[in-house]
């Protein structure tokens, strides 16, 4: 049975307490998850007492050769003395060095050839992770790795099932796979900026990213005559189009039941995104006419990510707007249709937006 992130954090804390009775110098257990598509390694959960030295942090695995080597070999690594690391350091290594941590033990989380992330142990004593300590921790490292894999796999299975449904219907819709890649990463940018302000954890950001591409899954149930109509929809056609929200929730619920994914952690985040991403702050959205903070934050974020990419992408009925034009539109409607804080969160990251657009640009040849 999969654990939700709070359960995983609690289990890490419980294991940490057990370890510290025998090994008082052990001061941190942390998990980072890996996204193969973007090559990003991202902080997820930890057992650190007080503030974590690394929160809402990500880095490309290819930029960290030492960890990339562990990913490729599946071997673990002990650093006996963090103080002797070279002066030219990555941000995450520098952050660790500025703590009382003096040694580390790193275990790749793998399932066969698939890398899911890394498990990190830190201690306040140099040379702490000797053969005896490592042998003792290895059993628990395998347990923690299994818990992490069991949490991530149901989410990936659900996402894969929904995306498979979209593949069969993609020729019916002008929203490409690259659109979904871009808007998911815009959503993650916004969530990443907002999480500290709303006291939300790293795992919440990760779930917004993983679930955002599923927002319009209900469109697979909309008739071609409505979905593919090039001109303006009639009032009746618009009513039919708007049913994609309720149909999307039905599809998600059916897939969860069909694939036995009832244990997917925080499926409420997914339901909120699918059900409420067309709501507007002033109550003019649909289908429920919610206002303000009654609209879940993850849905408010997804709405902005979706609209920004739609505006800056070419469609059969429009040209692509510039980023500046799209930003002006979002700001014009901020606080009325869109969450103003979330709008500014996205627009505060112009370099990241351009990097996403460059990496996931449309293929002009189709």
User: Which residues are part of the catalytic machinery?
Assistant: 219
Backbone φ/ψ region at 101: left (φ over 0), alpha (ψ -120 to 50), beta? beta
Q: How far apart are CA 211 and CA 302, in angstroms?
A: 9
Say if residues 286 and 279 touch (Cβ distance below 8 Å): yes
B/e letters for 182-198, b = 16+ CB within 10 Å, e = fewer, are bbbbbbbbbbbbbbeee
Say if residues 30 and 166 touch (Cβ distance below 8 Å): no
CA 300 to chain centre: 15
Q: How far apart are CA 231 and CA 225, in angstroms?
A: 11
Q: How far apart are the first and last CA of the chain?
A: 42
Q: How far apart are CA 135 and CA 334, in angstroms?
A: 55
Say if residues 104 and 82 touch (Cβ distance below 8 Å): yes
């Amino acid at each position: 049975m999969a654990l939700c992130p709070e359960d995983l954090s609690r289990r890490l804390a419980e294991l940490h307490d057990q370890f510290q009775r025998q090994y008082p110098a052990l001061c941190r257990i942390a998990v980072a998850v890996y996204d193969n598509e973007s090559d990003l390694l991202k902080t997820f959960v930890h057992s650190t007492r007080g503030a974590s030295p690394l929160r809402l942090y990500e880095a490309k695995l290819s930029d960290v050769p030492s960890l990339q080597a562990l990913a490729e070999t599946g071997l673990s690594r002990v650093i006996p003395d963090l103080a002797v690391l070279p002066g030219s350091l990555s941000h995450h290594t520098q952050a660790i060095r500025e703590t009382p941590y003096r040694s580390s033990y790193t275990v790749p989380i793998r399932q066969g050839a698939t890398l899911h992330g890394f498990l990190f142990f830190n201690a306040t004593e140099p040379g702490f992770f000797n053969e005896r300590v490592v042998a003792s921790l290895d059993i628990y490292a395998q347990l923690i790795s299994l818990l992490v894999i069991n949490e991530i796999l149901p989410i990936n299975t659900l996402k894969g099932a929904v995306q498979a449904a979209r593949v069969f219907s993609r020729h019916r819709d002008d929203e490409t796979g690259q659109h979904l890649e871009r808007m998911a990463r815009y959503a993650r940018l916004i969530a990443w900026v907002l999480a500290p302000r709303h006291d939300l954890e790293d795992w919440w950001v990760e779930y917004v990213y993983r679930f955002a591409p599923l927002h319009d899954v209900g469109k697979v149930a909309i008739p071609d005559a409505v979905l593919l109509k090039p001109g303006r929809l009639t009032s009746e056609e618009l009513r039919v189009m708007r049913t994609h929200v309720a149909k999307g929730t039905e599809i998600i619920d059916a897939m969860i039941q069909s694939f036995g994914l009832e244990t997917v952690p925080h499926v409420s985040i997914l339901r909120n995104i699918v059900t409420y991403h067309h709501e507007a702050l002033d109550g003019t959205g649909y289908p429920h006419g919610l206002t303000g903070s009654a609209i879940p934050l993850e849905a408010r974020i997804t709405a902005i990510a979706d609209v920004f990419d739609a505006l800056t992408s070419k469609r059969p009925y429009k040209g692509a707007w510039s980023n500046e034009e799209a930003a002006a539109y979002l700001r014009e409607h901020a606080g009325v249709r869109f969450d103003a804080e979330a709008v500014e969160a996205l627009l505060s990251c112009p370099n990241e937006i351009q990097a996403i657009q460059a990496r996931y640009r449309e293929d002009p040849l189709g």
